[in-house]
Structure formats: structure tokens, C-alpha cells
Amino acid sequence: MSVEIDPQLESVIREKVRSGQYIDIDDVVREALDLLQERDRYEQLRAAVQLGLDDVAAGRVRAWTPERLAEIRRAANEDDRVGVPISPDVRP
């Protein structure tokens, strides 16, 4: 893949390599893309937390009890049994 970038950005990238912080230009780009992915994950988490806060504010919550946990486990096991995919929102 070939990419054209602004001369100022190229200068920044080359300086990162010259400083010894990165092995080569690919290393700089890889790090930048990793940081973008991390930012995207942070934004998804922030949005999920906001949904939870909105639910609390609107009273759409249930008390956390051992019985509620058992209910969630039963529902998850049933979903697994019938092949319902696990939501990425609940995966570790």
C-alpha cells in the first residue's frame, strides 16, 4: 500500500524514527493505528456507560441479588443452548 501524507506529518514521523523511539516508519504508523483502535474502544465503553447512567436516571434498573444473578445465568445458558450469539457488550 502506498500513502501520500502531508509534508509536516512526514516530518513528524521521520523525527520519531530518528529519535530512536521507533524502529521505522511502519512502526510509527502501527503505533498510531493501535492508538486509534484504543480510542475507538474507549468511545464504545463511554457510550455503554452513558446508556447505563441513563437507565439509572430513568429508573430502568433492578436490584442486584443472588436470585437476579441466577436468572441471568439461566437466560444465558438457554441462549447458549439454542445458539444465540453472545453480544460483544457482555464479552470480557
Digit-coded pLDDT (tens) for 30-76? 999 999 999 999 999 999 999 999 999 999 999 999 999 999 999 99
The helix (run of H) or strand (run of E) holding residue 59 is: none
Domain contains 82: no
Q: In Å, what is the CA distance from 65 to each residue of 40, 78, 79?
A: 33, 20, 21
pTM for the model: 0.68
User: DSSP alpha helices (H): ranges in the chain?
Assistant: 7-18, 25-57, 66-81
Domain contains 12: yes
Domain contains 2: no
Q: In Å, what is the CA distance from 2 to each residue of 8, 21, 22, 50, 78?
A: 18, 23, 20, 39, 49
In which domain, by residue range, is 48 found?
A: 7-61
